[in-house]
Structures are given as C-alpha cells and as structure tokens.
A and B are shown apart, each in its own frame.
Chain A
Amino acid sequence: MNVFDILGPVMIGPSSSHTAGAVRIGLVAHALLGTPAVRAEILLHGSFAKTYKGHGTDKALIAGIMGMEPDDVRIREAPELARKSGISVTISTGEIEGAHPNTARVTLTDAAGRTISVVGSSVGGGNILVSSVNGMDVSFTGQHTTLIVLHRDTPGIIAEVTEVLGEAGVNICNFRLSRQKRGGEAVMTIELEGKSKSNLNEKIRALPNVYSSTMLPPI
C-alpha cells in the first residue's frame, strides 16, 4: 500500500467502491480475455447488487470490460457503447458465499467462443481484490504484474517456477499458494515487481507439471 492508494485515484464519480473499483474489475476481465468480448455476463453480490443502478456499477463494469480507465468521461455511456460494439450484456444479482459486500463475477466470451471468468471485490478507495480466475482460487490486487500458474501439486514445482523468474531477474513481491488437496491441482498467484519479459509466461507454461499459466499486466 502507498499514499496514492489513499489519495487517488483521479476518477469519475460517484463512488470509488462502486464506480472506480468496478471499472478495474472489468479491466481485469478485459485483460484476461485478451480479445474483444462479444458476450458479458455480470453477477452482482451484496451492496453491488442492491445499489448498482444508482452508482453506475453496471456502467463501470461494462466500461472496464471495454478497456476504459476509471477516469474516462465515457463511462456514463458505456452500456450504449457496448450495444453499438455488438457486445451482449446480461446483469443479474445473487449470492456469492462469503464474498465481500462489493463483489462481482464477470464472465466474458469472445467471437471464437473462448470464455474467461473473474470474481473480484472492490475493497474501498478504488482498490480491488481478485479472488477467483476461471474457477481457480487466487488473491491479487492488480497493482503489479500477476502470474497465475495452475499446476500439479508436487515437490519442486514452486522452485522450478520461481527459478524461471529469478533467472529473468524478476523480483517477487507477493506469493500465494492455494490447493484443494495434496497431490492434486494447485494454483500459484505471484505478483511481480518491475518490468517482465514477454516470454516469461511461455517458459513457465512449458514446465512439466504446469497445466496453464496466465500473465496479467498491472490494472
């Protein structure tokens, strides 16, 4: 955390939790998909569900899904712009068990039928916490370049992944391991400092016991 998490962001109102933070959750989904979305399904939970129409949370999420930043004056018109771009959007409300009061699940599909899904919470001041990516249990803030490595839980795999990073001179500022059971599938969420080389992800993907690796830029 730094002073600019408290004083900032410069944003379009009315709410850093419900507007700015929502834009960033949308941006995470946008970055994850990587290609233009043709369909967006948004599930809102808690306070998001109850107050989204007044706060423009739906507009903010759609704006982020379309790649707009939190201080973009077009946020107000995001639903119309989405319609014009041929993106079909459905918004529903529901319970996500144990989730923060400002949580959304965003599922995007591209023209090729590829789908990604993100669960993110807006924790205040425009800050976010992503808790699930494509069903994987993760935890990251989007402030740094983030690697999500789905792998087989086996001795040595973490060392192999971090060795690739170390060799590239990349520093790790946050590491989280999540697994369902020993020897099964596990997920590493790694936040990286500084500039990362673009082939880092390919190198990690190529490691044995790694099922998939996703690299997200800072949001």
Chain B
Amino acid sequence: MDIDFNYFSLASLLNAAEQNGLAVSELVLRQQAEQLEKSKDEVYCRMVKNYRVMGECIQPGCRKDLHSTSGLTGGAAYKMKQAVDFGKNLTGPFFGGALYRALAISELNASMGRIVAAPTAGSSGILPAAVLTMQAERKLSERACVMSLFTASAVGMVIANKACLAGAEGGCQAECGSAAAMAAAAVVELAGGTPRMIGNAVATALANVLGLVCDPVAGLVEIPCVKRNAMGVANAFTSAELALAGVENAIPVDEVIYAMKKVGESLPASLRETADGGLAATPTARKLYGKIFGKTAETGCADCGACW
C-alpha cells in the first residue's frame, strides 16, 4: 500500500485518510491486512467476533442479581436500564442507554465474566457502549459498527506508542481516558464526521481527563472503575458532539497524547493503581478492604489461603 502513515502520529493517519478520500477505518483495515499477511476479509471477520462478544455482555451485565465476588459492585446497570425502560431517566434512551451499557459491561467484568479488553478490562465498557448505542439508536449496520472499531483501535495504537494504556503506568486517564478517546473517534466516524473531526474528538476526550488518577477501592477493578466507565462513554459522546458541530482544538491531538504521557509520569505511585491514594485511601475504603479480605489494610495479609 503506497499511502503513507504511521501509528506514532495520529495526524499522519488522519491526513492520509483526508488526502486520499478514504475513511480512517478503511485505511487501517488495508494496512493491518498487509501487516498481518491476511486478507481484508479475514481481519474484518476477526473483528466481527470481538464486536459480537461485546454485544453478548449487555444482557448478563444488566441482570438484577449480578454481583462481584467482593460484593462491591453489581446491579447499577439494572437500575439504570430500569429507569430508561420506564421512560424515567433525564436524558432519554440515547444517553441513558449509553450509560447502562457501559455499566453492564464493566460490572460483568468485575464479576469475572467474559469481556473484550478495549483497550483494557477496566475500561472495557466504554467503547462497546458507545458503538452499540449508536447502532441501536441510529439503526446502523453491523458492518459500519465493526469498521468503526478499526478507527478506534488505530487511535489506541497511537496512544500506546506515544503514551500508555495501563492505569499502573499512567493512571485512569490512560485507561478510561484512552477508551473514551477511542470511542469518540468511532462515534464521529459512525456519524459521518471527517478525519479532522476525529482528531478533534480524540484530543477533547483526552484533554477532559488529564490527571485522572487510578485509585481502586480495596485494590479491585470495581469502585470507582464501574462508574468511570459511565463517565467515559459520556466523555466520548461529549467530545464527539463538539467535534461534529465543528468545534476545533487549539492543541493538536498528538501533543495532547504526549501531554497525557507526561502527566501520567508525574502522578505519584499512590495514584497509579496501588490502592494507596484517592478513593482507595478513604476511611470507608480501608474498612471495605478489611471487610472483604478479613484483615485491616495496614497489615495487608488477608489470610485467604491463596499462598500455602
């Protein structure tokens, strides 16, 4: 393929798409097929499988009796879906639907259910919730939705190359922030936006969460992770809406990605998935740790028999 771009610069990909009059997803699919030495069809089919696993998460994730082993989470998706189904929620079925889908997948993950990391398990609710909601509300084809996942993954690859995707390295901005940026890109493409708009949406989504810490209560991927997935899909739609309306960004997206990396490096270890800061360090969080693991947080040993 003679179209020139790389996954170290989102601008290079967006420019290549614009200059060649192609959708970003089409460009990515072609390049990936070449890289993986497979046909476009084979690569596409593999992505379809991922999309279907995502779709299969919603129903079990919305169960009333869903709960994690710790008991910390489960049932929020059910409540949100009830509000939407009975026409009681504030923002209607579109936004309400995005919220309950994000909650459902996230709660299913916490219950050791089967999910697709996108890009991680902790942020796995955001991208699927955005795309599945667009499919349901705008009556889109499965094909369009699966293709948008290629756009989303390309954004994820650039972030992985220039910054990082793990909470332990970059905080929640790297996980839920990146997932929201990926989802924003997918939504913009599904809504018929331009590559330039995709760049703006990604930049906004990341800029919105710079400094967001990873502070899992009791060290588990539950609180506040489940609700940050809801926040993430909201961030994705916020960013997409602004971009689609033509709102531009002063700071180019590749610089925003780098800024996210630098901010992540500045976060102390206590705020990078060590359960030593933020919500994880609150008195209630410490009590919950003790309740779940049967010991106080200070001693650390839960005597759960995991090591003999």
B-binding residues in A (CB < 8 A) = 1-20, 46-47, 50-56, 58-59, 71, 73, 75-76, 79, 83, 88-92, 100-102, 122-126
Contacts and interface: CB of A to CB of B under 8 A. Distances in A.
Contacts of A55: 219-221
A15 B121 CA distance: 5
Contacts of A2: 32, 35-36, 157
B166 A54 contact: no
Interface string B1-43: 0000001000000000000000000001000100110000001
Contact of B120 (A59, A90, A124): A124
A7 B47 contact: yes
Given A50-B275, A53-B302, A125-B160, A20 B117 contact: yes
Contacts of B108: 13
A59 B112 CA distance: 12
Contacts of A1: 7, 157, 160-161
Contacts of B118: 6-8
Given A7-B153, A12-B114, A13-B115, A102 B121 contact: no
Contacts of B218: 54
A58 B169 contact: no
Given A89-B308, A91-B306, A125-B120, A50 B153 contact: no
B122 A15 contact: yes
A167 to B, nearest CB: 22
B168 A125 contact: no
A126 B150 contact: no
B149 interface: yes
Contacts of B114: 10-13, 71, 73
A17 B166 contact: yes
Contacts, number: 185
B191 interface: no
B121 A54 contact: no
A97 to B, nearest CB: 15
B113 interface: yes
A139 B174 CA distance: 24
A11 B119 contact: no
Contacts of B110: 13-14
Given A7-B47, A8-B117, A14-B220, 18 more contacts: A4-B46, A4-B153, A5-B157, A6-B119, A7-B119, A7-B152, A7-B156, A9-B116, A9-B117, A13-B124, A13-B221, A17-B167, A50-B276, A53-B219, A54-B218, A54-B221, A101-B269, A123-B166
A76 B114 CA distance: 12
Contacts of A122: 166
12 contacts: A14-B122, A18-B221, A51-B219, A51-B275, A53-B302, A53-B306, A54-B220, A54-B292, A90-B307, A101-B273, A124-B160, A124-B169
A31 B191 CA distance: 46
A124 B164 contact: yes
Contacts of A7: 47, 50, 116-119, 127, 149, 152-153, 156
Contacts of B306: 52-53, 58-59, 79, 91
Contacts of A100: 168-169
B26 to A, nearest CB: 13
Contacts of B296: none
